[in-house]
Structure formats: structure tokens, C-alpha cells
């Protein structure tokens, strides 16, 4: 009788089924001939020993992976944009679909910068080019314009086997990298961009993560510190948690339209130096969630002062205020002279998700990496190569964005019309949102100069704060939960982005259609007034005048 | 005169340009009015102090990020598939394009599993559906078949705003997850698959990385150990390096057609237990780079014995030997009974990159996660949410693969023809490669039963080994470099995948067209014979007979 040697994986004998398993296995091995190798297998096991014990099969094994053994870096990660309130919104939405009655008929998801989900239309030219790349038989179709075909052919020419299905180089398709370099040169009014410094990425998040990964090192007091704006886009804090870097908050100045405050940068830096090695400064321009566009002198001052590694996340195509202008760090560094332009380490990130295209699902993005040490550059390429390459369809979408139809080309008119329509709508919605929010007692919203979000401050009365504390939740989380439950509107509590102690906010997108946005803002206004009333400080013999007195106490 | 407070970022004063910068900045701030916020900015800085020193501007700042400060986990990462030899192949290729003369006219890239780059054609139906999803105007086009349109509409129905440009849920588009569950159920002959356990991923690599990330914890002797087959697909070793897990090699048995050796698993496990906490067992089936398909009793035995977390990377559509069959761990666990099926923690990974579609560039993939602790599952979703979602175009491609045309549908005939054509060609090339390699003295290749690679063992004469050592390179790296330089053929040294000490291999793909493959194999044969001759042990008075004697000493 042949027996098998067992693999003892615990100090206790392996609890197993009865020995009939072994004869079962043996029979399998004996009668399920699969060719010569089978015989090798049989020979291997014919002389081995077996130790078998039976035990309760239901308690056969404990889980390897539990909350106790989970990677603590993963436990530490938080990402509010798709956090608990969004999960709840999903549950409520599914309930509605199944006929559950709510005080509203639909959930309005204003939590995430997903333009198409809120009804924004794709830019025709982008989709034409990507479709042509995807199914080149369409190059013979008369329904596609020549300029789209020409771009598709150019991209495919640089793909292995002329196919979107080939892996590209890890840095991306060459002609796309070159087109991006030209685009940046044009954006910065002639400041030269080298395509060798351009990397395609799987959305901006991927690029940011890769660069941060390179930068994190050291132990204890020399552990890498990363300065992030408060409020921030929570990818930064999530990445810092995951990489076990040290988070260094620098507060934007809400009273001054979320200005970048140089003294505050200095304070944050000097304080951090006592317990870590600050190495990175993260900037988001226009701000997410703030919507504020950096003034040029802020860009200049930061560039001048900083020997940190600069990470710049841009929403450069989302600028609404006519008296604001986007200034890239790169252009400013160039204007400051070669000792800055050739020295300051800067990585700048952009994606197909924003702008006027809103192509989030394609996960297209790029980063421009300036003045990176050459040997480290090789390490970056090595790191990227493990994941092979970003999705080539996303690279194609990115190419169209940086290489749109020119004035003389057939698609120019329609493209320009669609682009203006989207940007005008966004500018209108930015302004509308700011106005309506500021008309609500207890809500104050800084100008939405750019990006896709509003981040109003909300007054939360002390009784609500106490209730939140009793429920072990942030007061703005309580606010947002009640907002969701009473109106179906899903926004993200300010605590998910960071805010000054004692202040409360939420972030909403300005992406719903103007009609839906008006509905949202009206409902929000009604909710907020109800909320203030519900959580007013209780007074004996409250008269209607008393209630008015109470509400008038709240700060503007 | 207004002065600015400077941000002291070193113990030494900041070396800066002269004070004219500050008047420059001040003027900028004063005259570049941008609205009310500008005034806020001015007010902020008017009373601040400045400390300025000038210094040599050229030595303004040291780099923050150098090899000395680079994350050591990144330094440790290696990925041979796109490693040094591939970089060199790229250089040579560019040289050829620029007219540099070589002993060959083209570089043949047999280093990476990129089918389209080697001329394999995309499956028409896949591209039709993805193009329709991308540009839904095509739904009105008579040139697209109804079954493609129906699938595209079904996918778009589940996308936000019916657009491929929306972020999907982090786990993926719902109908795609459901289709994948149905596909797996069918693959496993009725063993039920729950769509809630299905996650779309950005290629298989992304899924593997996510699961490994969850599993890595502990310090010192309780640090997570990950068992990987030797030879292995080097994503595993790269991930282990990056996550600072402990690598545990278990050697596949080359003499037995790369069989999975249970005693060897046990040896590896018990040895590792002394210095780490082995928690994970990685399996690749069919093997990469080995091409071997696991026998069912091996799958059964591993399933029975293991309380480790099982990671199974599948190439299930690449099975060529008619006497071999793919057996999924899930099916085997099911057959072993509920105490196995409901307990063993298993994650299984698949992608659009392989099979008969070869859609690498779309970065499509999925994982099925069985018996994961529910709370940990929520943590996984949280982790995935930080990266928002996998590319939706890749999810669409994945959907078509798991939901191909059925027999009664219009595209069935063409689809089946194309699929068979690709798989037949691969089977033919697998067999051809094996035969020709085995006809070369000093090369021995196990049967290529599946996947896309051959991993022959090569005899490297001692003088070559010594030369390699003197150059501080692995002997098979020297071999591959010379192969590249003399023939233009790019393959990856076995040292990049792992091999038993004292043995040497290389991995080549079987993807070039049959004609090109024959050319490659012929050139390889000629090269190998030259190599053996060049590095023969030197003998005094070598006659032609002596040379033959020398060559006959080499093992088969």
C-alpha cells in the first residue's frame, strides 16, 4: 500500500479527512494517465511515508489573512472620496432600485470628479481617434474625418504590431510622449520640454504614487516627510499611509481664498524637521478640493525657497475665473533662470480625467519629471517596468488631448464647440454653486476659480457636534450622513480632506447638469436650514421670535 | 521696502539670488492685479522679515533624490523581462534604424509575452465590441454585427452616464463581474462562482500586487514569507522585494518535466519557518516560464495540505498538449468537499494579455477571491478605491473574452476560426520550438505543454562561466548578451527567473510567426554551436578530430 508523505504545516498534526483520501489520490494518480510525466509522478511518491490524523473537518484551518494579520499599512489607509458615505449612498441607491421608499427619488452623487457619470458628454474627436486605434478597419470608413484617421495612424505606427493590444514601452508610446512635450512647451509659451522626461501613467494617481515611492526612505527621525496642503486630495494622505512616510500638514488660508501661505509652509517645515526629514512638497493647482488658483507670486516664492522635491498636480484646463490664470511651476522656474530651471526637482502630473474631456475610465495620464538624478531615473524606469505599461487606449486618449484639431483641420469647428460648451458649463456651474451656497445662512464658500469642486465651510451647532461625538463620528460626517438620508445628496465630509481644527466643511463636485445642480443646491439649502433648526441650542419658551434670534446668532 | 520672510530649509542660510529678486517679486505682486485675493496676498507679506544671503547660484541646491536617498525597496526590485538585456536590445534596434551595421537586419524580441508585437492578430469580435463601447455612434452602423452591438450596449448600460469614460466601481463594472462569474462556473463544470468575489484588475500583475500587499506584515521572525516556484514569473520576486516580504524558493523538478514536488514544498516551508512566517504559496499554471501544466493529483495534494494563502496565476486558455488538461484549484477544492471549498483561502488571477486574444496593452484582468475574511474584504475594496478603478476599456475586453459569441450568434463562425487559428499556431510553435531546441547539442528543453514560453537548459562551458564571473555577470546573461550581439535575438537569461545553482537557462517566447520562429531557432542553433566551440576547454594541438572529441564531451 503506497502512502504519501504529508506536509506538516503546523506544530500540531494536520487535521485531515480519513485515510480514504489517500487511496482516492492514489487511484487518481494511477488511473488518470496523462502521459510519461504521470509515471514520473508516481515514482516520486511511491516510497514516501504518511502521517494522518483525523479531526473535525469544519475547523480544518484558521484563516491566514484576518484583521489581526492584515498589513498595518493597509489598515491605515483612508480614502474618503469612495469612503463610508459613498458606500452608504450605493446601498440607498440599490434600495431605491428595488422599490424601497425614500424622501427622494434618486441619489445625486456629487462626491467624485466623474464628469460623464453626471451626464457630461465625451468629446467626439477623442472617441473617434480611440475607436480608430481600437478597430483600424474603421480607417476605411467614410464616416470618420481625416484628421482623426491621421492621428490614429500615427499612434498605431508607434505601437508594436501596429496594435493597441501590444505593451508599449514602460514610459509610454514614443509619439505620445513627444506630443506631450510639444503640448507642454506650448502651454509654457516656449519653455522647452524634453520628451525623455515624459512618462505616461495610469491616471495621475499612478504617477504620484510612483514618485512618492522613490522618495520614501530612512528610519525614525530621518524618515521622509511629505508636505501636503490642508485641505488636500486624499490620494496624497493615502499614499503616505501606505508608504509609511511622515505626513506634514500645511494649512491653506481659508480667510484669504485658500491662499498658499509662505509663513505657514515655513512653520510646517520647521516643526516637522524635529521628528522627520521633510523632503517633498505637494501642490495642487487649481486646488482640489479648494478650487483656488495659485497666484504667480506664490508659485515664484515657493520655487525660490524650496529645496524639497516638488510634486505638482494640475487641473490646468479647468480655469473659470476670467481674472485668474494658471502658471506652471516649470515656466516660473524657467523665468527665474537656469540655476533654478536646471536644479529644482519637479514632477508634474496631469490626466485625461479632468479638463474638458472627463475621461476618467480610460485611466490616462502623464508626468513630466524635471531634474531627476540620472541614476534614479533608471530606477524609476525599472520600477515602472514591473507593471509593464499604462493602458494604451488611455495613452491614445491622452495624445488627442495634447494634440487636438488645429484651426485648418476638418474637426476643428466641432471640437472647439464641444470644448467651449463643456468649459462654459463648468464655469457657469462653478459660479452658480458659489452664489447659492453663500446665500445660505451658516454656509460660506470661497470662489470656485478652477478645478471641479466646491469646499464650503458649514456651521455645525454645538448640539450636533456633541451628538456626532457620542456616535464616534466627525461632526461633518454626521452632517453629510443626514444630508444623504434626507435628500439623497452624496457629498464628502471635509474631515476626509483635512481642515483646521474646529472648522467643518464638505466637498461637492460642480459636475451635475445645471438643472440637477440647482435642485441639489436648493435641497441642500433647505436641509441646512432644517439642520440648524434641529440642532439649535434649546431655550425655554421658544417663540417664533426666539427661533429667529437663535438663527441670527450663527456666524455668516 | 517690503521684505519677505524666507523659508529656511537648511541649517545654513539659503543661498539665493540677490535682493533684486524680492523687489522683482514685490513688483509682480503689486502690478499683476488678479482681483481681491491679490490684495489679501499683499497684506500678508507686508510686515514679514527677510533674511537673505547670496551664494554661488550654480551650487544652489543638492538633489533631494539620489541613489543614496532612494527607497531601498525600489533599489532591491529586479524585473528581468524588461531588464538590462532588453534595454540593450532597444539600443541596438535604434542603431539599426539609424543605419548602424550589424551582423543581422532586425532584432527579434522573444523576451516578453507580447503577442501582437510579434504579429498575432487581434480577435475581430473583441475589437468590435470595444470600439462600439468607445464610440457608441457606431451602434447605428450596419458594418457591425448585432451580437457585438448587444454586448456593447449591455456593458455601457452598467457604466456611469453610459460612458466608457466614467469611473466604474472599484471592483469593476457589475455586468462584467457577473459575466466572469458565469465563465468561471462554466470553466469548472458547474462549480458555483459568486460575482461578489470577482474583482476587475489592471492586468493580472495589479491584482497579484494588491493581494500580496494585504498579506505582508510582521517583523523579523514573524515577517510574512511568500513561497514562489523556481523558476518563476519575476513579478512575484519584484513584488516581494518592494513589499519587503521574505522570499521562499521552492524548486520545480526539471528532471520530471518541471513537476511540482510536494517534498520540495515541504522542505522549503520547514526551512523558511525558522526565520519567517510562511503565509503564501504562489502557483503558476500552466507554468511561466516552464510551460508545464500541473497534474490533477498535484493540484489535489497541494489543496489538501496547505493552510497557506494560495495565489494561482492561470494561463488556462493556453493548453497545447492533447494529453494535458487544465485543472483549477477551485474545482479541485470543490471536489474535495465543503470543508476545503469553504475554507481554503485562494485568489486566482487571469488577464486579457494571454490566451488567444493577446490584449496586453488594454491592461485587462480579473481576480476571483475565495474565502477571504469579510472584514479584510472591506479593506481590500478600500485599498482598491484609492486607485479608483481599472481601465474600463480593458474591462470591456475582459467581458468579451468571458462572454464570447455563442453558436447561434452571427459572429460565432469568424470568432471560432480566428481563435482556433491562433491556438493552433501557438500549439504548433510550442512543439516546433521544443523539437528544434532539443536537436541542439547542449540544449535540453522540457515539453512546452502550455503558456507562451520555452525555458531550455543550456550547457555553458567552464571557460564561459569564468569569463562571466570576471565580468561580474551571470553566465546565462553573458550567453544572452552574445546571442543578442551576434544574432539580434533577444531572450531573457534564466537567472532572471531563478534556477537551481549550477544550471543555466534562458526564456524565450513562442510568439514570433512560424517563419520568424524557424529563423530564430536556426540562428540560435548556429550560435549555440559557435558558443560551445568558442568556449571549449583549450587543448594543445587541437586537430579537427580533437574538436569533435571536445564537443562530444558535452552532456546532452
Q: Number of C-alpha atoms within 13 angstroms, CB side, residue A431?
A: 10
Q: What is the dihedral of CA A32, A36, A40, A45, to 10 degrees?
A: 10
Residue B399 CB neighbour total at 10 angstroms:
32
Instruction: Kindly determine whether residue A117 and residue B10, on different chains, have CB atoms separated by under 8 Å.
Output: no
The reply to whether B416 touches chain A by the CB within 8 Å rule is no
Lowest mean per-residue pLDDT among A239-248, A308-317, B140-149, B368-377: A308-317
Can you state the angle between helices B20-31 and A296-305, rounded to 10 degrees?
160
Does B279 have pLDDT greater than 80?
Answer: yes
Candidate from A483-492, B266-275, B277-286, B535-544 with smallest mean pLDDT = B535-544
Q: Which range (A178-182, A293-297, A442-446, A467-471) has the least confidence?
A: A293-297
Nearest Cα residue in chain B from A161: B117
DSSP A173: -
For residue B11, the distance in angstroms to the closest alpha carbon of chain A comes to 11
Residue B492, SS3 per DSSP: strand
**How confident is the model at residue B81, as a pLDDT?**
83
Mean pLDDT score of chain A: 86
A208 Cβ under 8 Å from any chain B Cβ:
no
pLDDT in tens, B510-525: 999 999 999 999 999 9
Which residues on chain B are in Cβ contact (under 8 Å) with A321? 35
Task: Provide the number of CB pairs (under 8 Å) joining chain A to chain B.
Answer: 435
d(CA A22, CA A4): 7
DSSP state of B350: E
pLDDT at A62: 84
Among residues A360, A361, A411, A345, which one has the least CA distance to residue A148? A411
Inter-chain residue contact A134 with B393, CB threshold 8 Å:
yes
Residue B233 vs residues A171, A444, B244: alpha-carbon distances, Å: 21, 55, 18
Decide if A279 and B393 are in contact by the 8 Å CB cutoff: no
* Residues of chain A contacting B264 with CB distance shorter than 8 Å: none
Prior bond to B286 cis, omega within 30?
Answer: yes
CB contact under 8 A, B379 and A38: no
Cβ atoms of B493 and B480 closer than 8 Å: yes
Contact at CB, A65 and B301, closer than 8 angstroms: no
CB contact under 8 A, A165 and B116: yes
Nearest to B349 by CA among B325, B330, B322: B330
CA of A449 vs chain B CAs: smallest distance (Å): 11
Q: In this structure, what are the phi and psi dihedrals at residue A98, rounded to the nearest 5 degrees?
A: -90, 10
Instruction: Please give the pLDDT value at position A9.
Output: 28
Q: Which three three-digit cell numbers place residue A281?
A: 512638497
Residues of B in contact with A391 (CB under 8 A): 202, 361-363, 391, 393-394
Our CA-based measurement puts residue B536 at a distance from the nearest CA of chain A, in whole angstroms, of: 34
H/E run at residue A272: helix A262-272
pLDDT for the residue A134 = 98
Least confident of A290-294, A319-323, B550-554: B550-554
C-alpha distance from B409 to closest chain A C-alpha (Å):
21
A471 and chain B in contact, CB less than 8 A: no
**Using CB atoms, which residue from A17, A205, A295 is nearest to B388?**
A205
pLDDT at A554: 44
Q: CB of A376 within 8 Å of any CB in chain B?
A: yes
Q: Are B165 and A362 within 8 A, CB to CB?
A: yes
Identify the residue with better confidence: A31 or B305. Answer: B305
> Do A166 and B213 make contact, defined as CB atoms within 8 angstroms?
no
β-pair partners for B509: B453
Q: Say if residue A181's pLDDT is above 80.
A: yes
Closest CA to B304 of A5, A47, A49, A37: A5
47-66 in chain B: CB under 8 A from chain A: 48, 57-58, 60-66
Residue A548 CB coordination number (10 Å) = 9
Assess whether pLDDT exceeds 90 at residue B295: no
Distance set, CA A287 to CA A182, A231, A284, A316, A453 (Å) = 25, 9, 5, 10, 9
Q: Is the dihedral of CA B213, B214, B217, B223 positive or negative?
A: negative
ipTM of this predicted structure:
0.87
Asked whether the predicted pLDDT for residue A257 surpasses 70, the reply is: yes
In this complex, do B373 and A256 lie within 8 Å of one another by their Cβ atoms? no
For A347-371, the pLDDT digits (tens) are 999 999 999 999 999 999 999 999 9
From the list B554, B477, B546, B539, the residue with the least C-alpha distance to B88 is B477
| Interface probe, candidates A17, A165, A282, chain B, greatest B C-beta count within 10 A | A165
Apex CA B321: angle with CA B319 and CA B327, to 5°?
Answer: 50
Whole-number Å distance between alpha carbons of A553 and A541 = 18
**Does A8 reach chain B within 8 Å, measured CB to CB?**
yes
Measured between CA atoms, how close is A20 to chain B, in angstroms? 12
Asked whether the beta carbons of residue B163 and residue A65 sit closer than 8 angstroms, the reply is no
Q: Which residues of B88-103 are buried (b: 16+ CB within 10 A; e: fewer)?
A: bbeebbeebeeeeeee
Distance (Å, rounded) from C-alpha A184 to C-alpha A401? 12
Cβ–Cβ below 8 Å for B168 and A308: no
How big is the CA angle at B393 (ends B389 and A359), to the nearest 5 degrees?
65
Res. A60 pLDDT band, cuts 50 70 90: low
Asked if pLDDT for residue B47 goes beyond 80, the answer is no
Check if the beta carbon of residue B307 is closer than 8 Å to that of residue A64.
yes
For β-strands A457-458 and A443-444, DSSP reports them as: antiparallel
A 252-311 near B (Cβ less than 8 A): 253, 255-257, 259, 261-263, 265-266, 269-270, 279-280, 292, 295-298, 300-301, 304-309
- Widest CA span of chain B, in angstroms? 95
Residues of B in contact with A341 (CB under 8 A): none
pLDDT of residue B55: 38
Closest CA of chain A from B486, distance in Å: 23
Lowest average pLDDT, out of A315-324, A458-467, B542-551, goes to: B542-551
Contacting residues of A for B246, CB less than 8 Å apart: none
Give the chain B residue whose CA is nearest to the CA of A222. B69
CB A47 within 8 A of CB B311: no
* pLDDT over threshold 70, residue B356: yes
Instruction: Give CA–CA dist A530/A518, Å, rounded.
Output: 18
Q: Looking at residue B35, what is its pLDDT?
A: 35
Nearest to A162 by CA among A177, A172, A149, A152: A152
- The tens digit of pLDDT for each residue in B455-485 reads 999 999 999 999 999 999 999 999 999 999 9
Using one digit for the tens of pLDDT, what is the confidence trace for A131-171?
999 999 999 999 999 999 999 999 999 999 999 999 999 99
Residues B262, A361: C-beta atoms closer than 8 Å = no
> Of the given ranges (A182-191, B42-51, B210-219), which has the lowest mean pLDDT?
B42-51
**Shortest CA distance from A266: residue in chain B:** B7
Choose the closest CB to A134 out of B79, B120, B127: B127
Which of B115, B167, B300, B322 to probe by mutation at the A interface, max A CB count within 10 Å?
Answer: B167
What pLDDT, on a 0 to 100 scale, did the predictor assign at position B433?
96
Question: Given a cut of 60, is residue B20 above it in pLDDT?
Answer: no
Nearest CA in chain B to A16: B304
- Report DSSP letters for A22-63, one per residue: HHHHHHHHHHS--SHHHHHHHHHHTT-----EE--GGG----
Q: Is residue A243 pLDDT above 90, yes or no? A: yes
For the cut 90, the answer to whether the pLDDT of residue A406 exceeds it is yes
Listed by number, the residues of chain B in 473-532 with a beta carbon closer than 8 Å to a beta carbon of chain A are: none
Unique residue bearing C-alpha cell 503558476:
B284
Report the sign of the C-alpha dihedral through residues A218, A221, A227, A233, in that order. Answer: positive
Answer yes or no: is pLDDT of A265 > 60.
yes
User: Considering CB atoms only, which of B65, B205, B213 is closest to A388?
Assistant: B205
Mean pLDDT, residues A71-92 taken together: 90
Whether the CB of A359 is below 8 Å from some CB of chain B: the reply is yes
- In the predicted model, what is the mean pLDDT of residues B369-397? 96
pLDDT over 60 (residue B505) = yes
Query: How far apart, in whole angstroms, are the C-alpha atoms of residue A48 and residue B243?
Result: 37
Rounded Cα distance, A553 and B113, in Å: 69
At residue A545 the predicted structure's pLDDT band, cuts being 50, 70 and 90, is low
Yes or no, beta carbons of B48 and A263 under 8 Å apart: yes
On the question of pLDDT at A216 being above 60, the answer is yes
pTM for the model stands at 0.87
Decide if B309 and A64 are in contact by the 8 Å CB cutoff. Answer: yes
Mean pLDDT of B442-466: 95
- Percent pLDDT > 70 in chain A is 86
For residue A21, the chain B residue with the least C-alpha distance is B336
Asked if the C-beta of B222 comes within 8 angstroms of chain A's C-beta atoms, the answer is no
Q: What residues pair up with B347 in beta bridges, in sequence order?
A: B311, B369
For A293-377, strand residue ranges (E) read 309-314, 346-351, 364-370
Q: Chain B neighbours among A 83-102 (CB < 8 Å)?
A: 83, 90
B298 has pLDDT over 70? yes
- Contacting residues of B for A257, CB less than 8 Å apart: 36-37, 40
Query: Would you give the DSSP letter of residue A259?
Result: B
Whether residue A38 has pLDDT greater than 60:
no
Q: How far apart, in whole angstroms, are the C-alpha atoms of residue B38 and residue A324?
A: 10
Q: Quote the pLDDT of residue A10.
A: 28
Residue B35 to residue A323, Cβ atoms within 8 A: yes
Set of cell numbers at residue A284? 495642487
User: For residues B442 and B341, what is the distance between their CA atoms, to the nearest angstrom?
Assistant: 46
A362 to B164: CB separation less than 8 angstroms, yes or no: yes
CA distance B316 to B328: 8
Q: Measured between CB atoms, does A168 come within 8 Å of chain B? A: yes
- CB contacts of B35 in chain A (<8 Å) are 321, 323-324
Identify the residue among B386, B418, B492 best suited for mutation to test binding to A, counting A beta carbons within 10 A and taking the highest.
B386
Please indicate if any CB of chain B lies within 8 Å of the CB of A23: no
Amino acid at each position: 500500500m503506497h502512502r504519501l508523505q504529508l506536509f506538516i504545516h503546523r506544530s500540531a498534526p494536520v487535521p485531515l479527512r480519513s485515510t480514504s483520501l489517500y487511496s482516492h489520490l492514489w487511484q487518481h494518480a494511477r488511473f488518470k494517465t496523462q502521459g510519461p510525466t504521470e509515471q514520473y509522478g508516481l515514482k516520486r511518491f511511491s516510497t514516501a511515508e504518511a502521517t494522518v490524523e483525523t479531526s473535525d473537518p469544519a475547523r480544518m484551518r484558521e484563516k491566514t489573512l484576518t484583521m489581526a494579520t492584515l498589513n498595518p499599512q493597509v489598515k491605515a489607509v483612508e480614502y474618503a472620496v469612495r469612503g463610508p458615505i459613498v458606500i452608504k449612498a450605493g446601498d440607498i441607491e440599490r434600495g431605491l432600485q428595488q422599490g424601497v421608499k425614500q424622501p427622494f427619488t434618486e441619489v445625486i452623487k456629487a462626491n467624485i470628479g466623474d464628469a460623464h457619470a453626471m451626464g457630461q458628454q465625451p468629446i467626439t474627436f477623442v472617441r473617434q481617434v480611440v475607436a480608430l486605434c481600437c478597430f483600424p478597419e474603421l480607417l476605411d470608413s467614410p464616416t470618420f474625418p481625416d484628421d482623426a484617421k491621421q492621428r490614429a495612424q500615427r499612434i498605431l505606427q508607434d505601437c508594436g504590431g501596429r496594435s493597441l493590444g501590444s505593451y508599449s514601452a514602460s514610459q509610454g508610446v514614443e509619439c505620445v510622449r513627444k506630443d506631450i512635450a510639444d503640448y507642454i512647451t506650448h502651454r509654457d509659451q516656449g519653455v522647452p520640454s524634453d520628451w525623455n522626461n515624459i512618462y505616461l501613467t495610469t491616471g495621475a494617481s499612478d504617477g504620484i504614487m510612483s514618485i512618492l515611492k522613490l522618495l520614501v526612505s530612512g528610519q525614525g527621525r530621518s524618515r521622509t516627510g511629505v508636505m501636503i496642503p490642508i485641505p488636500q486630495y486624499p490620494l496624497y494622505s493615502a499614499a503616505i499611509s501606505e508608504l509609511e512616510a511622515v505626513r506634514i500638514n500645511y494649512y491653506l488660508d481659508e480667510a484669504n481664498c485658500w491662499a498658499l501661505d509662505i509663513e505657514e509652509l515655513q512653520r510646517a517645515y520647521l516643526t516637522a524637521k524635529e521628528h522627520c526629514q521633510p523632503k517633498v512638497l505637494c501642490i495642487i493647482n487649481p486646488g482640489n478640493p479648494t478650487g483656488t488658483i495659485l497666484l504667480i507670486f506664490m508659485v515664484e516664492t515657493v520655487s525660490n525657497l524650496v529645496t524639497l522635491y516638488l510634486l505638482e498636480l494640475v487641473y490646468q484646463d479647468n480655469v473659470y475665473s476670467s481674472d485668474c490664470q494658471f502658471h506652471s511651476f516649470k515656466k516660473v522656474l524657467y523665468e527665474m533662470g537656469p540655476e533654478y530651471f536646471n536644479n529644482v526637482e519637479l514632477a508634474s502630473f496631469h490626466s485625461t480625467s479632468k479638463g474638458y474631456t472627463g475621461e476618467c475610465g480610460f485611466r490616462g495620464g502623464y508626468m513630466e519629471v524635471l531634474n531627476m538624478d540620472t541614476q534614479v531615473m533608471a530606477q524609476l524606469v525599472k520600477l515602472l517596468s514591473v507593471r509593464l505599461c499604462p493602458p494604451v487606449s488611455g495613452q491614445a486618449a491622452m495624445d488627442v488631448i495634447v494634440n487636438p484639431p488645429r484651426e485648418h483641420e476638418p474637426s476643428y469647428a466641432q471640437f472647439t464647440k464641444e470644448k467651449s460648451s463643456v468649459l462654459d458649463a463648468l464655469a457657469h456651474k462653478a459660479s452658480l454653486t458659489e452664489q447659492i451656497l453663500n446665500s445660505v445662512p451658516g454656509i460660506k464658500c470661497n470662489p470656485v476659480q478652477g478645478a471641479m469642486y466646491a469646499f464650503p465651510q458649514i456651521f455645525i451647532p454645538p448640539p450636533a457636534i456633541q451628538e456626532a461625538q457620542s456616535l464616534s463620528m466627525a461632526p461633518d460626517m454626521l452632517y453629510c450622513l443626514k444630508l444623504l438620508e434626507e435628500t439623497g445628496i452624496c457629498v464628502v465630509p471635509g474631515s476626509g480632506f483635512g481642515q483646521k481644527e474646529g472648522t467643518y466643511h464638505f466637498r461637492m463636485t460642480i459636475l451635475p447638469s445645471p438643472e440637477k445642480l440647482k435642485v441639489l443646491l436648493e435641497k441642500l439649502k433647505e436641509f441646512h436650514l432644517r439642520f440648524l433648526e434641529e440642532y439649535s441650542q434649546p431655550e425655554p419658551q421658544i417663540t417664533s421670535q426666539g427661533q429667529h434670534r437663535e438663527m441670527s446668532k450663527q456666524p455668516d
